[in-house]
Amino acid sequence: MNKRIVSWFSCGVTSAIATKRTIEKYQDKYPIVIAYCNTHSEHPDNMRFASECAEWFDIPITVLSSEGYYDIWDVFEKTRWLNGIEGARCSQELKKKVRQNFEDLEHDIQIFGFDIDEEKRAKKFKKNNPEVTAEFPLIDLSISKSDCIVEIQSVGIELPIMYKLGYKNNNCIGCVKGAKGYWNKIRKDFPDTFDRMAKKERELNHALNITGTKKRGYKHIFLDELPENAGRYKSELPIQCGLFCGEL
């Protein structure tokens, strides 16, 4: 069997540009598969973005899904787990395991959309996954996330709604890895999702966030206790969710 290029598309701008550069590099050499792990928990506008990108790529996007779970809420209900030291169970079940079931470690060159500011993450991924033949075209070409946004807009593709709403990533709506400022933004933009997660926290007796100081000590705080002015989303680190949750 010949080599196969698998570009992991996430409906984010960096994965879109990484895929485009991959097509330009390999389209006359190897078959290219653009793979997308559908969690059924992202904004519906992502399907519009994926469709427009597929037309731009001139290659259809292969949509993959978990065989055991439908969406993040199904994972929470069946596993009775939200997140922990080893990462978010939803990412592991809906993205990481789906990737592992699809990949052919012997023949695949796998493409990931880390940008130039994520070199450390890329190096750690390669260290933790030596069996994966991985390439990071944005890092190789010194392309930033802002460069990706400009290029997407320049070809007439409208940015996903989550970016327009001010989110740093195009993850599932209501990510269990989000901090206090993120969840207060979700409370404003998606109040039903906020309420649903608040109830799920109580049901599982697991608070997603902590409050306090090193001097006075920390404690877990449930979403239904979270002050509406807690946190500052703009200063919080971007949520890292992907095909390798728990490994980085």
- pLDDT of 242 above 80: no
If you average pLDDT over every residue of the chain, what do you get? 93
**Which residues sit opposite 33 in a β-bridge?**
6
Question: How far apart, in whole angstroms, are the C-alpha atoms of residue 241 and residue 90?
Answer: 10
| High-pLDDT (> 70) share of the chain, % | 95
- Residue from 203, 183, 204, 205 nearest 194 by CA: 183
Look at residue 236 in the predicted model and tell me its pLDDT. Answer: 74
**Domain 4-164, architecture per CATH:** 3-Layer(aba) Sandwich (3.40)
Instruction: Decide: 244 and 129 in contact? Cβ < 8 Å.
Output: yes
Taking CA 227 as the corner, what is the angle to CA 226 and CA 230, rounded to the nearest 5 degrees?
95
What's the pLDDT at 243? 53
Q: What was the pLDDT predicted at 35?
A: 98
Lowest mean pLDDT among 8-22, 32-46, 167-181, 206-220: 206-220
What confidence category does residue 1 fall into, taking pLDDT thresholds of 50, 70 and 90? low
10 Å CB burial of residue 13 (0-12, 13-18, 19+) is buried
- Find the DSSP H helices in the chain: 13-26, 45-57, 72-79, 89-91, 97-102, 119-128, 137-140, 145-154, 161-164, 180-189, 191-204
Q: How many CA atoms lie within 13 A of 94 on its CB side?
A: 24
Q: Are 196 and 147 in contact (CB under 8 A)?
A: no
pLDDT at 181: 96
Tell me the average pLDDT across 77-91. Answer: 90
Residue-level pLDDT at 104: 96
Question: How many CA atoms within 13 Å lie on the side-chain side of 33?
Answer: 18
The tens digit of pLDDT for each residue in 119-173 reads: 999 999 999 999 999 999 999 999 999 999 999 999 999 999 999 999 998 989 9
Query: How many residues does the structure list for the chain?
Result: 248
d(CA 7, CA 115): 14
- More confident of the two residues 225 and 84: 225
Is a pLDDT exceeding 70 seen at residue 90? Answer: yes
pLDDT, residue 2, reads 83
**Arithmetic mean of pLDDT, 23-47:** 97
Answer yes or no: is pLDDT of 247 > 60.
Answer: no
- Average pLDDT rounded to a whole number, residues 32-53: 98
Q: Please state at what angle helix 72-79 crosses helix 191-204, rounded to 10 degrees.
A: 10
Integer Cα distance of 200 and 204 in angstroms: 6
Q: How confident is the model at residue 246 (pLDDT cuts 50, 70, 90)?
A: very low
Angle at which helix 13-26 crosses helix 145-154, to 10 degrees, equals 80
Q: In whole angstroms, how large is the CA radius of gyration of the chain?
A: 18
| pLDDT higher than threshold 60 for residue 3 | yes
pLDDT tens-digit profile of 189-234? 999 999 999 999 999 999 999 988 777 888 999 999 999 999 888 8
Please provide the DSSP assignment of 176-230 as one string. Answer: TT--HHHHHHHHHH-HHHHHHHHHHHHHHT--SEEEEETTTEEEEE-GGG--TT-
Span 35-42, average pLDDT: 97
